[in-house]
């Protein structure tokens, strides 16, 4: 699930920041600063910078296990694969920072998956440590946000989280929607 989708959940009813950026003179045929015929037209108001995620390719990380798995995996290794931030990383800041730095050096868009919400898949195939609490998860998200700060990464947020809301098999999910809103807001503010 992308932060873009969750941003809609997290900011339901709020004005989208991108729609708030308008230029003066929009009523003059979409041109900022209608020409008076006395000189060059000047734009006023905030200028929007193109989002690099729309123009840069996804990062293909040469440090993945697939990249080093031998010739049988060459075709797969040439495709972008996200860095999965799970409970494998006690503090994901170092791993995410290094990954984002490699992507920046390659002038590519980093692609990450945050997958550490409490009882993330309700005890099925991706079970995790029972120590993952709501409080721990918020700190984890804060650490990821610190690593992503300004990187314009694409983040898939908790791919199993929404599907398991209300499932009777989930016992320790905490306040899942509140945690998703928190993560979406925090990662969006960091530039994801």
Question: pLDDT value at position 23?
Answer: 30
Percent of the chain with pLDDT over 70: 68
Q: Is the pLDDT of residue 14 over 70?
A: no
Question: pLDDT value at position 44?
Answer: 60
Closest CA to 81 of 56, 54, 99: 99
Helix (H, G, I), strand (E, B) or coil at 96: helix
Query: Can you say whether the dihedral through the CA atoms of 124, 130, 134, 140 is positive or negative?
Result: negative
The pLDDT tens digits of the residues spanning 16-39 come to 333 333 233 333 343 344 444 454
Q: Is the pLDDT of residue 48 over 80?
A: no
Average pLDDT score over the chain? 76
Global model pTM greater than 0.85: no
**Dist. CA 187–CA 28, nearest whole Å:** 37
Give the pair of three-digit tokens for residue 96.
Answer: 């995410």
The pLDDT tens digits of the residues spanning 107-163 come to 999 999 999 888 777 766 666 556 678 898 999 999 999 999 999 999 999 988 888
User: Who's near 10: CB < 8 A, 6+ residues apart?
Assistant: 180, 181, 184, 185, 188
Question: pLDDT value at position 110?
Answer: 96
Q: Is the pLDDT of residue 96 over 90?
A: yes
Q: What is the set of domains in the chain, with CATH numbers?
A: 3-7+54-189 (3.20.20.40)
Q: What are the strands of the beta sheet with 83-85, ordered from one edge?
A: 83-85, 111-114, 154-157
Longest CA–CA separation in the chain, Å: 71
Residue with more model confidence, 156 or 46:
156
Q: How far apart are the first and last CA of the chain?
A: 13
Q: Are 158 and 120 in contact (CB under 8 A)?
A: yes
């Amino acid at each position: 699930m992308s932060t873009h989708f969750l941003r809609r959940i997290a900011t339901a009813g709020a004005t989208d920041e991108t729609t708030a950026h308008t230029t003066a003179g929009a009523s003059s045929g979409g041109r900022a600063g209608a020409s008076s015929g006395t000189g060059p037209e000047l734009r006023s108001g905030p200028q929007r910078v193109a989002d690099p995620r729309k123009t840069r390719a996804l990062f293909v990380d040469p440090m993945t296990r697939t990249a080093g798995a031998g010739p049988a995996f060459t075709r797969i290794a040439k495709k972008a694969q996200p860095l999965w931030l799970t409970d494998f990383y006690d503090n994901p800041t170092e791993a995410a920072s290094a990954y984002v730095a490699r992507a920046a050096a390659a002038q590519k868009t980093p692609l990450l998956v945050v997958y550490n919400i409490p009882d993330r898949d309700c005890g099925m195939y991706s079970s995790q440590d029972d120590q993952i609490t709501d409080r721990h998860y918020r700190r984890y998200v804060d650490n990821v946000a610190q690593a992503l700060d300004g990187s314009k990464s694409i983040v898939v947020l908790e791919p199993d989280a929404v599907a398991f809301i209300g499932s009777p098999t989930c016992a320790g999910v905490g306040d899942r929607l509140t945690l998703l809103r928190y993560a979406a807001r925090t990662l969006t503010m960091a530039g994801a």
